[in-house]
Structure 1
Amino acid sequence: MIFKQPVQFVQHHTQSELLKVPNIDSDYEDDDLTNSPVQLVARDEVQTTFDEIISKICNKTLDLGSGRSRAEFLTQYGHFLDQMTRMNGESFLHVVASRMAHSTLIRYVVRKKRHLLHHKDTSDRTPLYVAIEYKNDAFVDAVLKEINDMDLDLLLRERCENGRNSIHAAIQHSLNKDCTLKLIRKASDITLSTSDNNGLTPLHLAVDYDRSSASQLDIVRALIARGGGAFDKYTTNPPDLSVYEYHNYTREKSHRRADGAKAVETSLLELRSGVIEDRKASVGKARRPFDELPVDQNAHRERQSRDKLEQKYFNTQQHNMEAPLRTVRRLEERTEMSQEQDIATYADNIRQEIKLCYLRSTFESAPGRYIRDQLAASKFLYGANIRNVNLSFDFSQGPLTISKDSFEESYSHMVFDETLRYVSFRPTLLQKPPGPAPGSRLAKKLAQTLKQDQGPNDLVFFFNWLHEKKVRHMLKVVVYDVEDAPHTDAAIEDCLRKFEIDTLAWYKSDLNPQTLFNACRGLKEIYLQWSGNMSILKAWGEPDGLPRLENLERVHLVWNAEETSEKSQQVISALEHLQIRLNQAVGEINAARRHGAVNGNQIQQRKPIVVDKLEIRASTYGRHANTVGPPNVLANIGKRRLQPNRWLECIDQFADEIQNVKVPLTDIPALKGDIKVAVVDDGVDIHIQSLQGKVIGGESFDRGSLDGYGTSPYYISGGGHGTMMADMVCRVCPTAKLFVYKLEMHSNPDGGPRQISAESAALAVMAAVRQKVDIISMSWTIRETEDNYNSISALRDAIRAALDANILLFGAASDKGAVTEIEYPCFYDRRIFRIGAATADGRVYDPTGNPQHLSFIFPGHSVAPRNPYLEKGLPIDSEEKSGSSISTALAAGLAALVLHCIRLGILQAEMEMRQTGRRSSTAVRLSDFEKAKEYYGMRSILRGLGLNEDNQKYLEVWKRLDGPAKRLRSPNGEMTPLEIIAGLARDLVSGIADH
């Protein structure tokens, strides 16, 4: 193979320089008037020598087949090989890489002058990089044969133009697939995960949508198999994209480009059609002057006949010209559609390969690698994750009993990826709707049709719900079944057969292998709970047992040693027998495959099945009683005597009325949605009645979980604190919609309250900012220490972003008395409302300290939930609690209530404008709403609600709310509920002072 040799003059001059060459035939009369010396270009002897060598090789006048000829070659040209060309700084290997595929020459020069491989030309390229760019496979093969693996990896890692290495180049320039795979297999993970100047790794380039093909899928798989370091790299241009996000970015870019091209083509066709119509019209127009001349009827008929002939001829000619074009265009369109479909199919495969590889890696640990868990996976797949896509569903801490309606309402907001990394369920009783009366005809009929072997099937509902949520693939499924009444085999099949499952841990003793085959035959890994029955152990090892699961690679045998009747040594022997029997079955399967294959080397050999021994697990759950709590707690609920609190009574009465005021429809974007409040705490139990349907999103930043497989879910509160805070927000503003962000908690070494991770707080606040919430409620404090300095810095940045976005921030004051001035979030900026606790009569709660350091004080002493959390299966919380954290949640709820009232006031003014065509001068305007969403505007409004005369920090809300609440409760017909709220809104915004 010989590459084209460039013409020197043209190669070394640009087009503009060639145009400047003087025309010797033009005016030259004055040329002899000057006596300038001739400037000769110095001859590039190195380039000439390189050309001479290549010419001799091509003409076969230089033979390197023998040792003697190679020695003579080195004697004659050796001193030139170490030199570089003057123009491009190229070594001899650069020149050969771009122009010649002579394996013997390349291998000999590489062997004698290996250092030349690391020399870079003026374009910052190594010879290997140039060879890849020119698709010189012979050069690449020669280097692979002559360089050992360690040196080759260093060569491949050399950063060349745009910071890209040779693996980048192989992807970018579409090097032959076989050569590319050879290079990838020789490269280390460090080389494969190197980023170029734009932050793109070779894997980023490989997953580009437009490159999608069968061979590219193989290349992507090879890159991942050699090392997944690229999974932890994010781009800089475009900014902060993972490999997965970069694929989606190029996909969207390609689709936009295709849509634009189709639009241009359509415009050209329309234009062309218009030209044809104009030509048709022009034929008629050209004859009009003649048509208007006075002629006799015979002449007119002759002219009409002639016109028809002309028109027929024109149409025939047009059809003859366009018919082949239409045929060609249809063929081109079909080819393009086929190519687009192929690209889309392989692109989908590549994207799924990336997703599955990353998600599976979150269950593994590797030294020196970034943390890969569910939080990292969420960022990898969705970046900021504005849609709050969930990658798991953990119901292992859910309620013991729940109704279908309650479950669906609580979790209706959840959005899932079609592939979940983890799903877990505890034994949960699904509350059934009331049945027929005992003894009725329907009851007797149901009793007659009830099968004797029918058992619990409650989980079928939950798995069907996941399927309705578009979940199709689950990497790990864990189910803690009830020991004394487990799900039937039929129910297990109904739960699982709709999904593709990698790993299953359904803790029911002695699972039937046929059930597993029917339910999830694609299993790779399984946890089997064993009762000690030797016959079931034998059944698992039979060829028609576990070996029927074709992808099965590992079995974890789980049993309770105390409950197993067999002796320990007998159990170990039985397990060893299971291992041997499974491998024998796999061997028989592989032998049968080889026997039935045409070419034994082409069949897929099954791997041995590994059995993990001596897995010990505690006893499974027993059937729980259908109770709502301990008897002593239940008895005390009716006896509790809550301390009278005028503030809470006023708020409760007003909240009961305003939640019934219908919100009018509007086209104003800022007024369409409800007020959004972010509750940043330890999670929220969204099952309780007062919160059902009010949580519309969330995310957990708590990396701790009971089983270690995922983040602790945001829809379960770690200690009940976040649940009460959310309940207090919605108690004040029942129309508010909540985003829940769960913080990571650590035990206090001093034995005090749990400590909050500053890193998780920073992530949570930033997530709330991206979600564009109106209010952030933070009922906690964090102290800055040497250990969390960097995380506190990130928290400051997140708070600054929230303030810049005009989000109202409410933080709790310390309950330790004096303000320490080192506690976050309030310490960072005075525009954060620092909220303290007050007693029922409006005095400062003693632990809060001096009210002069606070923005406001709200009820925070002996406050209990308005309605105890009586949802079955959840902890009952009827105790009175104290502290500024409760006050903070009430303050955030009051701010949400204020914004909701102003929103209704604006909507009332809009309705009045449409009905009467005029707007009142005192009507609430959108600008008032925007002012109220800023710190100084909200501060003015809260002060205007009614500060008490003693300490000027306690808000006597009844001064503003009692009147509207009474009128809403007992309407007199003079004003609609919306008009009543609009009047209140006018009063609220009248107190806004310009800052």
Structure 2
Amino acid sequence: MEILFKLLRDKGVRHIVKVIVFDLEAPPHSDESIERCLTGFKSIEILDWRKVDLCPETIFKACHNVVELHLWWSGNNGILMAWSAPGGLAKFPRLKEIYIHQTQYIESVERDKKNLQLFKERLRKERMASRPQEYRPEERLKLAQSGQALPVTVLEMWPDISINDSDTSYAAHPSRSLATYRPQLNQTASRYRRHQWLEIMDKFAAGIDLIDLASVDPPDISPEDVRIALIDDGVEITNRNLTNRIYNGWTCDTGYEGDGLEGIPRPYTSSETQHGTFMASTICRICPKAKIFVFRLDVVSTPGKRAHFTAKSAADALELAIDPKRKFDIISMSWTIAKNDQNSVDLNRLQVALKKACDTNQVLLFCASPDGGEMAKAQAENFDPYGCNDAGLFKIAAATVDGIRIPMAGSHHNYSLPGHEVEDTNQSAANGISDGQQIADHENSGLKTGSSIATALGAGLAALIIHCVRLSAAYMHSASHSSAAVTSNELTTGSKGTEATSSRLLGPEALDQIKRPAHMRRVFNHMISDNNSTDRFIEVWEFFAGCGDELKKQGRQIKTLKLNIEDAREMGAPDVDEMVKELQKRNDERMMEIVKLAFRFISI
């Protein structure tokens, strides 16, 4: 960053209206580096340097004439005391507004509220004490009454400081209480709890990955895989987590520059930033049976800015993806593009394509929060596809290990899923993409943060639910043609009954039903706890926690039994038929777990 600011100074820039620096990644800039970046300018009106717990003395040395200040707070009360202490923020002569953005939740909501209120009171008193006498209201009144000239108006120098804390725990999450709050004790504990959501889904995914659909699926019933269109910057198909999971793709890239390759499009089988690779592997982490079609977008790298997608390539890709002939079940878009005069035409195309897709009621559309902090609804609508007002979109925000929406995700979302310090199973994904959206790459830790991750998890979860229903429909069809017919009573109680057979309960109609956006939304809504109505965090424990280990165990036993049957046949053993019956029995037991789960999904 120092090079960039030096370039501005060398170009003769003296006044800056607003500075935004994303510095939440580890390691952040040092205080000395920040001072070197910002000194030398006559004025910086608005400072939003997104480093957690920024030192007030550093800010004063760098830009003491700041008018609006955004502070990113860890939740530590000691920092609030430092900001409001003598010689702290109160000594900034032109400071008028402070915005506090909370990045983690150490204390309870009630404790945070009390600490913030005391911070406001201390800062107000210290401001009054720090204000030079000639700028104090009572002194100015005396001067006015005596007819003497007044100094610069109080609105310009030493104004009262207003504090906006709408992006903190008690303001953003009023429904949380001590009874439901789970504090983040430390990073080690945080990692353990974070694994609770992902660990449950990892176990279930591992178990369902062992089920060979061909062994239970007649060719005339539900032969197609769950298809997902991933619109991103391409995917490295050599990634081991994506073997046999990328079935095709298309590039909307404008082509290489230089090296004699001008105009030759970059292939969808490579990734500019590895963001698309990470999104694809995250989707398949939750639904290993998903098949992904990759649409590669055009990536533009501008000096001093993060790489971003062009609106034209995004509109081109979405227009192709919504074609009913492609039969996509899900379209995943883990990015945002900010509107401006140059891209308005293409973003209008994108909006039209989104509405058209929603109107068909045939595809699930997932998109990410812009991760620009709390903003007004009108401002959030400046970021596409997130800004589209159609109710058919699934707008996803990142949440912490505790199921609390991260502040930078904003509050205009439909659902939140894990997206704060999520383990990267690839250990290779690079920094993220979009105007404002951050993928925090903690060096040497493999932890990633951003709503793009939560979006991929949401798309993967929807794909897994569809796959469970599809798998069950195929099994039911097979069972209805054998003596193993399953009844509705068995689905709900686990015991045999005499009611309608399962083929009428989980048939092709059920598969069509679960793919409808309205029904998938009902399933997601059912997974939201009453205590989490504000953040709308999707909890998976009720549906997936109980059977993940069992599925994995049964899968291994069945695999071993199949190998034993092959050996027995080669040896001409007399008990092969009994072993085959045992295999069928164990497979039926395993499939009944999936069938019961699928029945719950379609019954919501």
The answer to whether structure 1 residue 782 and structure 2 residue 349 are counterparts is: no
Q: CA deviation at 1:666?
A: 2.6
Q: CA deviation at 1:944?
A: 2.5
Higher helix share: 1
Q: 1:798 aligns with which of 333, 353, 357?
A: 353
CA-to-partner distance for each residue in 1:904-939, whole Å, 9 max, x for gaps? 111121112101396634632322221211111100
**Counterpart amino acid of 1:687?**
T
CA-to-partner distance for each residue in 1:136-192, whole Å, 9 max, x for gaps? xxxxxxxxxxxxxxxxxxxxxxxxxxxxxxxxxxxxxxxxxxxxxxxxxxxxxxxxx
Q: 1:940 aligns with which of 522, 528, 539?
A: 522
| Map of 2:573 onto structure 1 | none
Q: CA deviation at 1:956?
A: 1.4
Q: CA deviation at 1:866?
A: 2.2
Question: Quick one: distance in 2 between partners of 1:718 and 1:678?
Answer: 18
**Counterpart amino acid of 1:822?**
N
Q: 2:252 aligns with which of 691, 701, 704?
A: 701
Question: Quick one: distance in 2 between partners of 1:692 and 1:642?
Answer: 31
The answer to whether structure 1 residue 977 and structure 2 residue 594 are counterparts is: no
CA-to-partner distance for each residue in 1:176-217, whole Å, 9 max, x for gaps? xxxxxxxxxxxxxxxxxxxxxxxxxxxxxxxxxxxxxxxxxx
Q: How does 1:202-241 map to 2 (within 5 A)?
A: none
Q: CA deviation at 1:860?
A: 0.4
Question: Bigger relative contact order, structure 1 or 2, given CA contacts below 8 A and separation 6+?
Answer: 2
Contact 1:948 1:956 in 2 (8 A): no
| Map of 1:924 onto structure 2 | 506
Question: Quick one: distance in 2 between partners of 1:752 and 1:867?
Answer: 25
Question: Quick one: distance in 1 between partners of 2:306 and 2:427?
Answer: 24
Q: CA deviation at 1:754?
A: 2.3
Q: 1:955 aligns with which of 531, 538, 543?
A: 538
Secondary structure of the corresponding residue to residue 713 of structure 1: coil
Cα distance change of structure 1 residues 906 and 738 upon mapping to structure 2, 3 Å threshold: same
**Counterpart amino acid of 1:764?**
A
| Map of 1:965 onto structure 2 | 548
Contact 1:948 1:954 in 2 (8 A): no
| Map of 1:811 onto structure 2 | 367
| Map of 1:657 onto structure 2 | 207
CA-to-partner distance for each residue in 1:820-869, whole Å, 9 max, x for gaps? 2222113221210000000012111121122xx21110100011222435
Q: 1:680 aligns with which of 185, 209, 231?
A: 231
| Map of 1:720 onto structure 2 | 274
Question: Quick one: distance in 1 between partners of 2:530 and 2:240?
Answer: 34
**Counterpart amino acid of 2:398?**
A
| Map of 2:191 onto structure 1 | 643
Q: CA deviation at 1:893?
A: 0.4
Question: Quick one: distance in 1 between partners of 2:190 and 2:254?
Answer: 38
| Map of 2:473 onto structure 1 | 906
Contact 1:726 1:889 in 2 (8 A): yes
| Map of 2:218 onto structure 1 | 666
**Counterpart amino acid of 2:478?**
M
Cα distance change of structure 1 residues 988 and 836 upon mapping to structure 2, 3 Å threshold: same
**Counterpart amino acid of 1:901?**
C
**Counterpart amino acid of 1:989?**
I
| Map of 1:327 onto structure 2 | none
CA-to-partner distance for each residue in 1:218-265, whole Å, 9 max, x for gaps? xxxxxxxxxxxxxxxxxxxxxxxxxxxxxxxxxxxxxxxxxxxxxxxx
**Counterpart amino acid of 1:716?**
S
Contact 1:680 1:778 in 2 (8 A): yes
CA-to-partner distance for each residue in 1:798-836, whole Å, 9 max, x for gaps? 223322441100000110122522221132212100000
Q: CA deviation at 1:736?
A: 0.4
The answer to whether structure 1 residue 825 and structure 2 residue 392 are counterparts is: no
Q: How does 1:481-880 map to 2 (within 5 A)?
A: 643-644=191-192, 645=194, 646-663=196-213, 664-668=216-220, 671-706=222-257, 707-748=261-302, 751-770=304-323, 771-805=326-360, 806-817=362-373, 818=375, 819=377, 820-828=380-388, 829-850=390-411, 853-869=412-428, 879-880=446-447
Q: CA deviation at 1:784?
A: 2.3
Contact 2:254 2:263 in 1 (8 A): no
Question: Quick one: distance in 2 between partners of 1:912 and 1:898?
Answer: 21
Contact 2:367 2:385 in 1 (8 A): yes
| Map of 1:986 onto structure 2 | 599
Cα distance change of structure 1 residues 924 and 742 upon mapping to structure 2, 3 Å threshold: same
**Counterpart amino acid of 1:880?**
L
Contact 1:834 1:854 in 2 (8 A): yes
Determine what percentage of the aligned residue pairs are the same residue: 33
Question: Quick one: distance in 2 between partners of 1:832 and 1:748?
Answer: 30
Question: Quick one: distance in 2 between partners of 1:966 and 1:822?
Answer: 44
Contact 1:766 1:801 in 2 (8 A): no
TM-score, scaled relative to structure 1: 0.33
Q: CA deviation at 1:884?
A: 0.3
Unmatched tracts of structure 2, length 5 or more = 1-187, 430-440, 488-499, 558-584
**Counterpart amino acid of 2:229?**
A
Which segment drifts farther, 932-941 or 945-954?
945-954
CA-to-partner distance for each residue in 1:385-407, whole Å, 9 max, x for gaps? xxxxxxxxxxxxxxxxxxxxxxx
Secondary structure of the corresponding residue to residue 212 of structure 2: coil
RMSD: 2.6
Question: Quick one: distance in 1 between partners of 2:473 and 2:283?
Answer: 23
| Map of 1:466 onto structure 2 | none
Cα distance change of structure 1 residues 968 and 946 upon mapping to structure 2, 3 Å threshold: farther
Secondary structure of the corresponding residue to residue 827 of structure 1: coil
**Counterpart amino acid of 2:270?**
I
CA-to-partner distance for each residue in 1:485-522, whole Å, 9 max, x for gaps? xxxxxxxxxxxxxxxxxxxxxxxxxxxxxxxxxxxxxx
**Counterpart amino acid of 2:381?**
E
Contact 2:217 2:475 in 1 (8 A): no
Q: How does 1:335-346 map to 2 (within 5 A)?
A: none
CA-to-partner distance for each residue in 1:736-768, whole Å, 9 max, x for gaps? 00111111122347x332232111111111222
Q: CA deviation at 1:704?
A: 3.1
Question: Quick one: distance in 2 between partners of 1:878 and 1:977?
Answer: 37
| Map of 2:493 onto structure 1 | none
CA-to-partner distance for each residue in 1:678-727, whole Å, 9 max, x for gaps? 11111111111001211001111111315314111111111111111111
| Map of 2:41 onto structure 1 | none
Question: Quick one: distance in 2 between partners of 1:748 and 1:641?
Answer: 39
- Count the aligned residue pairs: 345
Q: CA deviation at 1:957?
A: 0.3
Secondary structure of the corresponding residue to residue 677 of structure 1: strand
Secondary structure of the corresponding residue to residue 740 of structure 1: strand
Question: Quick one: distance in 1 between partners of 2:346 and 2:352?
Answer: 10
Question: Quick one: distance in 1 between partners of 2:530 and 2:275?
Answer: 29
TM-score, scaled relative to structure 2: 0.54
CA-to-partner distance for each residue in 1:342-378, whole Å, 9 max, x for gaps? xxxxxxxxxxxxxxxxxxxxxxxxxxxxxxxxxxxxx
CA-to-partner distance for each residue in 1:936-986, whole Å, 9 max, x for gaps? 110011222353623361111021101121331344967522221111101
CA-to-partner distance for each residue in 1:593-624, whole Å, 9 max, x for gaps? xxxxxxxxxxxxxxxxxxxxxxxxxxxxxxxx
Secondary structure of the corresponding residue to residue 727 of structure 1: helix
Question: Quick one: distance in 1 between partners of 2:218 and 2:205?
Answer: 23
Question: Quick one: distance in 1 between partners of 2:367 and 2:335?
Answer: 7
Secondary structure of the corresponding residue to residue 672 of structure 1: coil
Contact 2:424 2:448 in 1 (8 A): no
Question: Quick one: distance in 2 between partners of 1:683 and 1:970?
Answer: 35
Question: Quick one: distance in 2 between partners of 1:641 and 1:688?
Answer: 30
**Counterpart amino acid of 1:842?**
G
Secondary structure of the corresponding residue to residue 253 of structure 2: coil
Q: Highest CA radius of gyration, 1 or 2?
A: 1
**Counterpart amino acid of 1:855?**
N
Question: Quick one: distance in 1 between partners of 2:481 and 2:528?
Answer: 34
Question: Quick one: distance in 2 between partners of 1:786 and 1:698?
Answer: 31
Unmatched tracts of structure 1, length 5 or more = 1-639
